[in-house]
Amino acid sequence: MSLLLCLGDIDPVNWRKAFKAALPDHVDVVTRDDADFDPSAVRYMYVWKPAADAFDGLDNLEVIFSLGAGVDPIVAHPKLPRNVPLSRFVDEDLTTRMTDYVVAQVTLHQRQTTYYMALQKAREWVQYYPPAANECRVGIMGLGALGADAAEKLVGLGFTVLGWSRNHKDLPGVESFAGPGQLDAFLSKTDILVCLLPLTEDTRGMLDYELFTKLRRDGLKTGPVVVNAARGGHLIEKDLVRALEDGTLGAASLDVFEVEPLPGDSPLWAIENCLITPHIAAISSVHRGVRFVVDGIARHEAGEPLENLVDLDVGY
Ligand code: NDP
Ligand code: OXD
C-alpha cells in the first residue's frame, strides 16, 4: 500500500525522504511521476493544491491528509472523493508562527508604524503618542485553532480583543460575536481587523469596501486597519486599494493574495501603508507535517478516530 504525495507547487524531494524514514515499511511513498505508479495501491494521500487529475483512479483511497491548515483547494476540487475522510493540519508550531505574525502586525499598527514611516520619509518630527494596547481594539474573524491562539496572546499583551465566528465562543478576555447577525456590531467596535477565516462559499470576498466602512473610525489616528493572513479569496483587492487611497482604511498587512505570487503589476506593491509578505505567515514544516501523517496513519490502522476532520458540507 502507498502514501501518494500530491504537493502542487511544492518540491516533493525532501518530503519524500522524510516520509520514507518515518513511515512503517508496509507503506510506500509515491508520486504520480513515478514510472511504476499504481493508483490502486494508494491508501493515503498527502495534499497541497491538488492538480486536476490528483484523485483520478484512486479507488482504494482511505484517508486524505491536508498539508495546509486551510483546505479550500481540496474541498473545491471537482473530483474530490467526498466519502473519504479529510484530515487537516492543526499544529502547535504552525499556530505559534501564525500568532507571531498576527502579534507583530497588530503591534506595529497599534504603534502607528506606517504613520511614522511617512513622517520619516518627509523628515518631519511630530510627537503624536499612539494609543496604549488596551485602548486599541483588535477584532479577529475566525476563532479556530489559529484565531483563538492569537486572541489569547493579544489579550495577554493587554489589547482589547473581540472575535467573530460561526458559533459563540467563551474565550477568556475575548468579547464573542457570532454569525452574520452580529457582524456589524463586531466591526463597529474594531480598530484592527484580523482575518483568520477559512475560505468557504460564505466567506469568499467578505473583505470588501462596504465592510471596511463599518469599522470603528475614532480609534486609530490614521483610520482602521485590515490584516489578512487567511486566504487571498477573502479580500477584494481593488476595494482595499480604494479604501487605502481614500482614507477609509489607514493601513493594511497582507500575507495572502487573489493570485500568488502577487503579479508584478499589482497596485498593492506601491502602497506604502500596505505591508506585504509572500504567504509566509506560518509554514507546515517537513518535520511536523510528516509527524502528523505518520500519527494519522497509525491511528487509522489501529481503528482509532482521525483528528481534525473537515466537514465537507461547511467547507472547513
Ligand atoms: P479553523 O477551522 O480551526 O477555524 C475557523 C474559524 O472560522 C472558526 O472559528 C469558525 O467558526 C470560523 N468560521 C468559519 N466560517 C465562518 C463564517 N461563515 N462566519 C463566521 N465564522 C466562520 O481554521 P484555522 O484557525 O486552523 O485556520 C484558519 C485559516 O488560516 C485557514 O483556513 C487558512 O486559510 C489560513 N492559514 C493561513 C496561513 C498562512 O501562512 N497565511 C497558514 C495557515 C492557515 P466556528 O468556530 O464557530 O466553527
Ligand atoms: C495553510 C497555509 O493553509 O500555509 O496552512 O496557507
pLDDT for the residue numbered 148: 98
| Most informative mutation of 164, 196, 227, 310 for ligand 1 (most atoms within 8 A of CB) | 196
Query: Are both 2-91+284-301 and 93-276 of the same fold?
Result: yes
Radius of gyration, CA atoms only, the chain:
21
- For the chain, 316 residues long, give each residue's pLDDT as a single digit of tens: 999 999 999 999 999 999 999 999 999 999 999 999 999 999 999 999 999 999 999 999 999 999 999 999 999 999 999 999 999 999 999 999 999 999 999 999 999 999 999 999 999 999 999 999 999 999 999 999 999 999 999 999 999 999 999 999 999 999 999 999 999 999 999 999 999 999 999 999 999 999 999 999 999 999 999 999 999 999 999 999 999 999 999 999 999 999 999 999 999 999 999 999 999 999 999 999 999 999 999 999 999 999 999 999 999 9
Q: Which atom of ligand 1 is nearest to the CA of 165?
A: 21
pLDDT for the residue numbered 36: 95
Percent of the chain with pLDDT over 90: 100
| d(CA 196, ligand 1 centre) in Å | 5
Q: Which atom of ligand 2 is nearest to the CA of 94?
A: 5
Taking only the tens place, the pLDDT of each residue in 287-309 is 999 999 999 999 999 999 999 99
157, with CB counted inside 10 A (0-12, 13-18, 19+), is middle
The class of domain 93-276 in CATH terms is alpha beta
| Most informative mutation of 87, 275, 316 for ligand 1 (most atoms within 8 A of CB) | 316
Decide whether any atom of ligand 2 lies within 6 Å of the 284 Cβ: yes
| d(CA 34, ligand 1 centre) in Å | 35
| d(CA 283, ligand 2 centre) in Å | 7
Select from 19, 39, 59, 20 the least CA-distant residue to 286. 19
Is 109 annotated as catalytic? no
Sheet containing 2-6: which strands, arranged edge to edge? 28-30, 2-6, 42-47, 63-66, 86-87
pLDDT for the residue numbered 107: 98
d(CA 303, CA 25): 19
Decide whether any atom of ligand 1 lies within 6 Å of the 147 Cβ: yes
Domains of the chain: which residue ranges?
Answer: 2-91+284-301, 93-276
Is 231 annotated as catalytic? yes
User: In this structure, are residues 275 and 254 in contact, taking their beta carbons and an 8 Å threshold?
Assistant: yes
Could you tell me the pTM of the whole model? 0.97
Of the listed ligands, the closest to the CA of 75 is: 1
Which one from 43, 109, 137, 231 is the annotated catalytic residue? 231
Taking only the tens place, the pLDDT of each residue in 24-52 is 999 999 999 999 999 999 999 999 999 99
pLDDT for the residue numbered 219: 94
76, with CB counted inside 10 A (0-12, 13-18, 19+), is middle
CATH 3.40.50.720 corresponds to the domain 2-91+284-301 = yes
